[in-house]
Structure 1
């Protein structure tokens, strides 16, 4: 029931990367959030969220087979990365078409096309490929290299933010150029120094049988990030750039609380994939959920306590958004637990069910959040209601996830005891 020494060391290695990234990301976030205006930060955050969603279309989801091969059959990694590269090129026209639609419906009257396109290039063609290199290293259990790469990427973005803040002109257009330069530099370092030595070879017969898994996993990733980032896009559409900026700042602070949880999720997924199940029963599952909720709420509570005597500690724009932190106190727990549920289903290869659940979550969140924003549009009226929105999403996610896992567990037991 207890993790062994190697598992604890691996988790601490991943967590050290998350902790380093947490500190560096906090500095980066504070510089950018307080240098841009609230409206500009809202536009940057929502355009970046759009790029994050679209980046999951790259290679039609073939990142999932790459990660599974790196974890289970690393000798095939070169062949799978060659397939990933070819599929990535083939996916670019589809990504460009969806990006154009997103721009027309959400950004055309708010943001020029060039900055929007550069943000998407940074997220899709640069940062997503950096993530792929980190994913490969994690699959190979090279956790130290993966952690170092993530810290390096965050550090370069922070350096770009420092240079931007020191520069005389603080427009969104200039920041986008600095952001693209930092992510491009990170990608170059990732490919040169962090991609494990391997021989790329295109083996056509390997890919068709993995494409169903790739497309399902990619669709699940897209839907997951749509439901995760949908609130930012709805805030921009329903409340305008300033409220979107305040909300993006609040959610960025909340998102920082998820880093230790994501390190745990990563280790848990690998263990479930290798053990073909999650041992310990309902009691252990409840204990894990309680731990995730406590860490998540505790992180935001620590920020609130720190700002209580020093409201300007994190800068002018963050201090303007700080009134949202206490009303949103339960949101980190609900968000992180929904992410944990999605990882459980991914580890048990319930991809179709995961997509269906995430679509239901997305619809529920969109409906409830739209109702709240239209019913309580004032700056300080809508925030407490978001606890109920995210709470309802959590209840749906937990009910469906554990029902599916129980069915999977009964299926495994029957296969072991059958004739």
Structure 2
């Protein structure tokens, strides 16, 4: 027996030390998060490439005048579309990340609400058309673009978000990539059509986005039973609407400037600004892939005191990556000025002076993610609304006082700095400060 015991002890594997276990756990967690990020970024990267092709074809096919009209109309639709489904898309995402058994009810409520909000959104857009767009394009063309932004693409984005919430990052990537591929195909068809006016583009834009929506619903919507539940609709309507208001205010921070410019400047200036803004947005794609994972982790983990320091470190990283992305773009265009086409080369006079804008825009979006993850929706809505008003007023003052596009462009850095400071005070005071007490 002693011999058997001795043999058993001899073949037993050596004990693993506590530091080794910790290191193995951290290594496994890092590999898992890296794999998830790469899955998300793979889809986002594909989407970026497709969107870049789509954008560069469109920006160099439409005239700067028509590009300004289309961008302004699209911005109008995107802002109105924030209320699509009364905001239940956000609750569906939270359900998919946290309480998956309730997802069928939230998705059903979203689709029913979407059917209600689509005609309401089109009706709300009519006064804006007669005030700003009547002399630039037809009502039918305007409504086609609005229908895409307020209705069709919102379904694609919701299915994308739900798949991300479920952890199905590959499916989420395919949803958005296939939709972007169809949009790009539409831009190619438009470029080859021989008719390069905004009216012709609106028809193609609507048709290919309708195809993208049908594909997303058929191939990528989670296979769950949709059940309408009145208690979800009436019980969570206030929270969903608060998200819509906050989301509208956040989106308006990026879109309202085009409408302000359309009312105070010409369509060509709006076109140049729209191209510049879109180019800057491309530099933030790697960061937005990170937001998907970070928000999901915060929702699952809940609040922890240690997250304050981590949040500040994330802010520093976001600022560095944003600035590096813009710097790389500027260096590339200094070597090959016409690399992205003639119209983009014209617009480069503006985004060449917006050195700090990408970093501040991405940090404001990060703050919005923190409000959402910690469910501080009322504060988020109030803050976002205030930021929209301040930004619109600041841009209007810049356009009135400065006629040269580069002169008022450089002052946008100061505008975004002021918005960021206000956001920092609000987010860290309402979330981390109050909870730590």
Structure 2 counterparts to residues 348-387 of structure 1, below 5 A: 348-387=374-413
Long gaps (5+) in structure 2: 1-25
Offset at 1:363? Answer: 1.6
Q: Which one has the largest radius of gyration?
A: 2
| Cα distance between partner residues in 2 of 1:210 and 1:84 | 11
Structure 2 counterparts to residues 106-121 of structure 1, below 5 A: 106-121=132-147
Instruction: Rate the CA distance shift 1:282–1:192 in 2: closer, same or farther, 3 A.
Output: closer
Question: Which TM-score applies when normalising by structure 1?
Answer: 0.94
Match of 1:157 in 2: 183
Match of 2:355 in 1: 329
Structure 2 counterparts to residues 6-405 of structure 1, below 5 A: 6-277=32-303, 280-405=306-431
Match of 2:12 in 1: none
Instruction: Rate the CA distance shift 1:158–1:278 in 2: closer, same or farther, 3 A.
Output: farther
Offset at 1:283? Answer: 3.8
Whether the aligned pair in 1 keeps the contact of 2:145 and 2:206 (CA below 8 Å) is: yes
| Cα distance between partner residues in 2 of 1:173 and 1:219 | 31
Long gaps (5+) in structure 1: 412-419
| Cα distance between partner residues in 1 of 2:222 and 2:311 | 35
Task: Indicate the SS of the match to 1:308.
Answer: helix
Offset at 1:280? Answer: 3.5
Offset at 1:264? Answer: 1.2
The total of aligned residue pairs comes to 411
What do you get for the CA RMSD once the two structures are aligned?
1.6
Offset at 1:408? Answer: 4.2
| Cα distance between partner residues in 1 of 2:171 and 2:305 | 29
| Cα distance between partner residues in 2 of 1:328 and 1:78 | 44
| Cα distance between partner residues in 1 of 2:44 and 2:305 | 26
CA displacement 1:148-189 (0-9 Å, x = unmatched): 111111111111111111121211111111111111111111
| Cα distance between partner residues in 1 of 2:236 and 2:406 | 49
| Cα distance between partner residues in 1 of 2:307 and 2:373 | 17
Greater shift, 128-137 or 6-15, is seen at 6-15
